[in-house]
Amino acid sequence: MLAASGADDEDLHAGQRNQHRADPDQVPALRRIGAAVTIERMPAEIPDPAPATARLRLDLSYDGTDFHGWAAQPGQRTVQGELEAALSRIARVPARVTVAGRTDAGVHARGQVCHLDLPRDVLATIPGRSDRSPAEALVTRLAGVLPDDVVVHVAREVTSEFDARFGALWRRYRYRISDGPAAHDPLRRDVLRHRRPLDVQAMARASEPLLGEHDFLSYCRPREGATTVRELRELRWERPGEGRADEGLIVATVVADAFCHHMVRSLVGALLGVGEGRRPESWPAEVLAARTRESSTRDGAGAAPLCPPQGLTLDHVAYPPDEELAAWAARTRTLRAPLPVEDVAVAE
Q: What is the pLDDT of residues 302-327, one digit of tens each?
A: 688 999 999 999 999 999 999 999 99
Weakest-pLDDT range from 44-58, 237-251, 267-281, 282-296: 44-58
Tell me what percent of the residues of the chain surpass a pLDDT of 90: 68
State the catalytic residues: 104
Dihedral sign (CA 146, 149, 150, 154):
positive
Q: What is the mean pLDDT of residues 274-298?
A: 84
Angle value at C-alpha 173, between 310 and 143, nearest 5 degrees: 70
What does the pLDDT read at residue 83? 99
CATH number for the region 53-158 comes to: 3.30.70.580
| Residue environment code for 148-186, b if the CB has 16+ CB neighbours within 10 A, otherwise e | ebbebeebeebeebbbbbbbbebbbbbbbbbbeeebbee
Residue 5 has pLDDT above 50, yes or no: no
- Indicate if 170-320 has the same CATH topology as 53-158: yes
Q: What is the mean pLDDT of the chain?
A: 85
For the chain, the domains span 53-158, 170-320
What's the pLDDT tens digit per position in 115-124? Answer: 999 999 999 9
Angle value at C-alpha 193, between 192 and 194, nearest 5 degrees: 110
Q: How far is CA 347 from the centre of its chain?
A: 28
Beta bridge partners of 250: 177
What's the pLDDT tens digit per position in 157-199? Answer: 999 999 999 999 999 999 999 997 667 788 889 999 998 899 9
Of the options 1.10.3210.10, 3.40.720.10, 2.60.40.10, 3.30.70.660, the CATH number for the domain spanning 170-320: 3.30.70.660
Confidence of residue 48 (pLDDT cuts 50, 70, 90): low
Residue 211 has pLDDT above 80, yes or no: yes
Angle value at C-alpha 46, between 42 and 52, nearest 5 degrees: 135
